A and B are shown apart, each in its own frame.
Chain A
Amino acid sequence: MEELEQWKEQLSHFYNLVMDRLREVPPDQLYAAAAIAIFTTLLLLSLRLFKRAKSNTVVLTGLSGSGKTVIFYQLRDGSTHQGTVTSMEPNEDTFILHSEKTGKGKIKPVHVVDVPGHSRLRPKLDEYLPQAAGIVFVVDALDFLPNCRSASEYLYDLLTKGSVVKKKIPVLILCNKTDKVTAHTKEFIRRQIEKEIDKLRASRSAISAADIANEFSLGIPGEPFSFTQCSNKVTTADASGLTGEISQLEEFIREHVKQ
């Protein structure tokens, strides 16, 4: 206890010294120092807000095994290197699209995030959605029908998230692996997903008071669901990650990432 008393005395002594020093300083300097401090904080805050308004992030998502990591590396390097395995962590990088590297003029780099599709890692998607300027939902066009239900559920959850609906983030449904002969067409996939989401809507909103699993509901009740009913723009495209056929995807990116 004595030690505490000593510490207290020393502290109060120190405090008095500081106060005396402060009083010695002319008030103008004090005001100037305070003004500079406030100004810098305001500047930093405004810079952060300013940055957020113009986002250049594109989020790649979809089921596990649909080819997101392959597409990520195609976008960045133009090749798939030695292959990929199931991702355990997101891949993110800011780069100029590989096909644009030879282009002229100043091209703004794009920030692409490849979120793992494994269901245990789904919560990671929520970290990147707020800054997304566009979402690419990659679907395996080759092995589509067995996974149709899970893909549609994932897409439904995505389209009913608060951040996606409020900011009207455009979504591109990318049908991957179209280089294979037995891959389905994007129109077929679009129709199947619309049908599945229609059924999901019915089961998820059986009693409106009881349905709080999703923050928003999709489409117009009573009519069969179609992507045109979404408030944000949903389009479809073809791609093939392995052969490098990603031109439609690059168009989407250039269109929606603000230059």
Chain B
Amino acid sequence: MLEQLLIFTRGGLILWTCKELANALKGSPIDTLIRSCLLEERSGAASYNYDAPGASYTLKWTFHNELGIVFVAVYQRILHLLYVEDLLAMVKREFSQIYDPKRTAYPDFDETFRQLKMEALARVEDLKRSNLNPVAGNAKKQVQGNNKLGFEGGKKKKSGSVAKNGGGTDGDDANGRKMENGHANGSFVTKDANLSSVVNGRENGSPNVGAFDVQKLQKLRAKGGGKKTDTVAKASKAEPNKKVTKKNRVWDDTATKETKLDFTDNAGEDGDRNIDFVAADQGESMMDKEEIVSSESEEEEEQEDAGKNRKPHAKSKGWFSSMFQSLAGKANLEKSDLEPALKALKDRLMTKNVAEEIVEKLCESVAASLEGKKLASFTRISSTVQAAMEEALVRILTPRRSIDILRDVHAAKEQRKPYVVVFVGVNGVGKSTNLAKVAYWLLQHNVSVMMAACDTFRSGAVEQLRTHARRLQIPIFEKGYEKDPAVVAKEAIQEASRNGSDVVLVDTAGRMQDNEPLMRALSKLIYLNNPDLVLFVGEALVGNDAVDQLSKFNQKLADLSASANPRLIDGILLTKFDTVDDKVGAALSMVYISGAPVMFVGCGQSYTDLKKLNVKSIVKTLLK
């Protein structure tokens, strides 16, 4: 049964709650929904799961964008209520008719809601009953057909989400459509049948039939798309299974010396002989320079954009009708109207190297927020969509929490503890280089820094850090190679608190996100040392893999950690930003998937090439 159904304005005032279901909700699911889902531009998702001590809820929602109202239904996660979306759509329709911006209480809606609920329940009962009988045999065929559709990939995700929306808004036609489907078993290939058969499959899959239920169907459908990633994961997992140690290749007949290769001790002497010079003060780090974005150039660029936008429109057939619509102001925006504009935006974003999955989710979220809105006169659909997308992008890229590291360092200094930063990431993204840049920046702000060489795997990693430390004249804690990084880090932090360093920068070895033993070692390091900041270093050149990297890193850190609240990635350091001219989409993908803000941007290979992320210029570049 439904736990609660709420209607509230986007400004935050609750307009109506169901008085019958007066169970107090445990925790604060609505606030969490707003903060973690709707404001994070994930409003295109179908539902949201909320866990509180003592209860686990699923939340579904729908918007009425024109009036600015949100409808949310909360129910227990273990129940799979099928009528919730239909009910939400019906409630939306009924409530919009009686809504008045001046009124703040709607007691007469209780009666309407009771009727709507009974209607929705009755409808579901009808479906269940009629599906039990002759269509039972067809149900199996249809569900198998759905599996086939699921494995087609590509459109699968889109059809899944569109199907759910379709199921919601076409609740009225469900009965009629069911009759068609009873006869139209063969036509699985056409797109319409795609939609309706998926809808029907969902409605058919109620638990009473016994053969199939919705969860299995969804799992099967999801597996179809996840097949690709599974194979990749399997391939990489196969490699660590082969634990064949390498044998030295023998070129001549002399006996092989089985000496252990360990270069730690000799390095010290060699290093001293090198001509080491202190890095002269190379000027201000770019972190402290303000980015000058002149407003004049912005205006010119906007005019250019408008011109460019007009030209492709002039070539398309619907130019005259869109002009007419823009003058008259269309009644309500439908999803089909938004489609072309969204598609154009989608292509534009993908050419800017934003991951495909992220673009899809973003476009769904923007569509959800614009559907049903009234177009203002003298605006085109494309400009409305562009404005909404721009706002969404600014919202995502604006950090959720303060990224003032200096303030945190000062706070830690007062508690007489060193501030520990751990740099994690995959191979070759630039962790050691950017670690040195961050050290340089901190030194410029009169903070004493210490480096910890916990990359004990890659040859030359310790020497690299040692050279940086010598140039910057800061202490470095190293234990050589083939040592446990977690222990090295622990000892480094103890050393730092002994000699009074304010910040400890810990360098780790690069590792692929699928490599289970290495991820385990990383989570052990983080669990053991409890750093203040876990910085994920990602390069701007990465494409769709950014999504996979970040989500797997977060997932592994959460799963493999031994503690109750595991530490996740707190911030992102974006590197090699100077190599991408305007294909800056990796920043967006990483921030969207992890929710962590971009704290630094590395834009070169010298010490001063470290910047802050300028949200406005990135959004402008993405939408150019």
Q: Are A81 and B13 in contact (CB under 8 A)?
A: yes
User: Residue of A at shortest CB range from B8?
Assistant: A85
Does B118 lie at the interface of the complex (its beta carbon under 8 Å from any beta carbon of A)?
no
Chain A residue contacts of B406, Cβ below 8 A: 203-204, 206
Nearest CB of B to A24, in Å: 33
Does B175 lie at the interface of the complex (its beta carbon under 8 Å from any beta carbon of A)?
no
User: Residue of B at shortest CB range from A81?
Assistant: B104
> Could you mark each residue 371-410 of chain B with 1 if its beta carbon is under 8 Å from any beta carbon of chain A, else 0?
0000000000000000000000011101111101011011
Chain B residue contacts of A82, Cβ below 8 A: 13-17, 104-105
Task: Report the stretch among B28-36, B230-238, B243-251 that lies at the interface.
Answer: B28-36
Does A46 lie at the interface of the complex (its beta carbon under 8 Å from any beta carbon of B)?
no
> Could you mark each residue 1-37 of chain B with 1 if its beta carbon is under 8 Å from any beta carbon of chain A, else 0?
0000010101111111100000000000011001100
> Could you mark each residue 199-219 of chain A with 1 if its beta carbon is under 8 Å from any beta carbon of chain B, else 0?
110111011011110000000
The range of chain A's interface size is: 35 or more
Does B38 lie at the interface of the complex (its beta carbon under 8 Å from any beta carbon of A)?
yes
Q: Are A87 and B14 in contact (CB under 8 A)?
A: no
Does A120 lie at the interface of the complex (its beta carbon under 8 Å from any beta carbon of B)?
yes
Q: Are B14 and A84 in contact (CB under 8 A)?
A: yes
Chain B residue contacts of A203, Cβ below 8 A: 404, 406-407, 409-410
Nearest CB of A to B309, in Å: 23
Does A40 lie at the interface of the complex (its beta carbon under 8 Å from any beta carbon of B)?
no
Per the bound structure, the CA–CA distance linking A84 and B445 in Å amounts to: 44
Per the bound structure, the CA–CA distance linking A26 and B245 in Å amounts to: 103
Nearest CB of B to A71, in Å: 12
User: Residue of A at shortest CB range from B410?
Assistant: A203
Q: Are A88 and B404 in contact (CB under 8 A)?
A: no
Within 8 A of B (CB), among A76-104: 77, 81-91
Nearest CB of B to A176, in Å: 15
The range of chain B's interface size is: 35 or more
Contact of A119 among B15, B104, B288, B399 (CB under 8 A): B399
User: Given the interface contacts A123-B398, A153-B402, A207-B288, does A85 sit within 8 Å of B14 by beta carbon?
Assistant: yes
Contact of A89 among B10, B284, B402, B411 (CB under 8 A): B10
Q: Main SS of chain B's interface residues?
A: mixed
Nearest CB of A to B447, in Å: 9
Q: Are B31 and A85 in contact (CB under 8 A)?
A: yes
Does A243 lie at the interface of the complex (its beta carbon under 8 Å from any beta carbon of B)?
no
Contact of B445 among A77, A81, A83, A206 (CB under 8 A): A206
Chain B residue contacts of A122, Cβ below 8 A: 398
User: Given the interface contacts A120-B39, A206-B406, does A91 sit within 8 Å of B398 by beta carbon?
Assistant: no
User: Given the interface contacts A200-B407, A209-B284, A212-B290, does A85 sit within 8 Å of B30 by beta carbon?
Assistant: yes
Q: Which of A64, A90, A119 has the most CB of B within 10 A?
A: A119
Q: Are B398 and A88 in contact (CB under 8 A)?
A: no
Per the bound structure, the CA–CA distance linking A210 and B406 in Å amounts to: 12
Per the bound structure, the CA–CA distance linking A65 and B32 in Å amounts to: 12
> Could you mark each residue 254-288 of chain B with 1 if its beta carbon is under 8 Å from any beta carbon of chain A, else 0?
00000000000000000000000000000010011
Chain B residue contacts of A211, Cβ below 8 A: 288
Per the bound structure, the CA–CA distance linking A121 and B34 in Å amounts to: 12
Q: Are B39 and A207 in contact (CB under 8 A)?
A: no
> Could you mark each residue 492-521 of chain B with 1 if its beta carbon is under 8 Å from any beta carbon of chain A, else 0?
000000000000000000000000000000
Q: Are B10 and A153 in contact (CB under 8 A)?
A: no
Does B444 lie at the interface of the complex (its beta carbon under 8 Å from any beta carbon of A)?
yes
Nearest CB of B to A27, in Å: 35
Nearest CB of B to A111, in Å: 15
Q: Are A207 and B34 in contact (CB under 8 A)?
A: no
Per the bound structure, the CA–CA distance linking A64 and B104 in Å amounts to: 22
Chain B residue contacts of A149, Cβ below 8 A: 411
Q: Are A120 and B395 in contact (CB under 8 A)?
A: yes
Q: Are B394 and A123 in contact (CB under 8 A)?
A: yes
Does B446 lie at the interface of the complex (its beta carbon under 8 Å from any beta carbon of A)?
yes
Does A150 lie at the interface of the complex (its beta carbon under 8 Å from any beta carbon of B)?
yes
Q: Are B288 and A85 in contact (CB under 8 A)?
A: no
Does A118 lie at the interface of the complex (its beta carbon under 8 Å from any beta carbon of B)?
yes
Per the bound structure, the CA–CA distance linking A207 and B105 in Å amounts to: 55
Does B68 lie at the interface of the complex (its beta carbon under 8 Å from any beta carbon of A)?
yes
User: Residue of B at shortest CB range from A73?
Assistant: B13
Chain A residue contacts of B10, Cβ below 8 A: 87-89
Contact of B395 among A85, A121, A202, A206 (CB under 8 A): A121
Does A240 lie at the interface of the complex (its beta carbon under 8 Å from any beta carbon of B)?
no
Per the bound structure, the CA–CA distance linking A64 and B401 in Å amounts to: 12
Chain A residue contacts of B398, Cβ below 8 A: 119-120, 122-123
Q: Are A118 and B39 in contact (CB under 8 A)?
A: yes
Chain A residue contacts of B394, Cβ below 8 A: 123
User: Given the interface contacts A82-B16, A90-B11, A119-B398, does A210 sit within 8 Å of B104 by beta carbon?
Assistant: no
Within 8 A of A (CB), among B503-560: none
Q: Are B38 and A88 in contact (CB under 8 A)?
A: yes
Chain B residue contacts of A204, Cβ below 8 A: 404, 406-407
Does A140 lie at the interface of the complex (its beta carbon under 8 Å from any beta carbon of B)?
no
Q: Are B444 and A89 in contact (CB under 8 A)?
A: no
Within 8 A of A (CB), among B146-170: none
Per the bound structure, the CA–CA distance linking A119 and B400 in Å amounts to: 5
Chain A residue contacts of B12, Cβ below 8 A: 69, 84-88, 91, 116
Per the bound structure, the CA–CA distance linking A204 and B35 in Å amounts to: 29
> Could you mark each residue 124-167 of chain A with 1 if its beta carbon is under 8 Å from any beta carbon of chain B, else 0?
00000000000000000000000001100100000000000000
Per the bound structure, the CA–CA distance linking A133 and B564 in Å amounts to: 49
Contact of A77 among B70, B104, B409 (CB under 8 A): B104
Nearest CB of A to B248, in Å: 54
Contact of A83 among B14, B290, B404 (CB under 8 A): B14
Per the bound structure, the CA–CA distance linking A164 and B451 in Å amounts to: 42
Within 8 A of B (CB), among A208-237: 209-212
Chain B residue contacts of A238, Cβ below 8 A: none
> Could you mark each residue 333-366 of chain B with 1 if its beta carbon is under 8 Å from any beta carbon of chain A, else 0?
0000000000000000000000000000000000
Nearest CB of A to B448, in Å: 13
Nearest CB of B to A133, in Å: 21
Q: Are A153 and B35 in contact (CB under 8 A)?
A: no
Nearest CB of A to B604, in Å: 19
Q: Are A89 and B11 in contact (CB under 8 A)?
A: yes
Nearest CB of B to A200, in Å: 7
Contact of B35 among A73, A81, A83, A118 (CB under 8 A): A118
User: Residue of B at shortest CB range from A122?
Assistant: B398
> Could you mark each residue 212-243 of chain B with 1 if its beta carbon is under 8 Å from any beta carbon of chain A, else 0?
00000000000000000000000000000000
Per the bound structure, the CA–CA distance linking A83 and B6 in Å amounts to: 11
Chain B residue contacts of A84, Cβ below 8 A: 8, 12-14
Within 8 A of A (CB), among B22-71: 30-31, 34-35, 38-40, 68, 70
By Cβ-Cβ distance, the 10 closest A-B pairs, closest first, are: A87-B12, A210-B288, A91-B11, A89-B10, A69-B12, A212-B290, A86-B34, A82-B14, A203-B407, A84-B12
Query: What are 8 residue pairs bridging A and B, where the CB atoms are less than 8 Å apart in the complex?
Result: A84-B14, A85-B8, A119-B400, A120-B396, A121-B39, A199-B407, A203-B410, A211-B288
Interface positions of B (Cβ within 8 A of A): 6, 8, 10-17, 30-31, 34-35, 38-40, 68, 70, 104-105, 284, 287-290, 394-396, 398-402, 404, 406-407, 409-411, 444-446
Beyond A84-B14, A91-B13, A119-B400, 14 extra complex contacts between A and B, CB < 8 Å = A69-B12, A73-B13, A85-B8, A86-B12, A88-B10, A120-B39, A120-B396, A120-B398, A121-B39, A123-B398, A149-B411, A150-B402, A204-B407, A206-B406
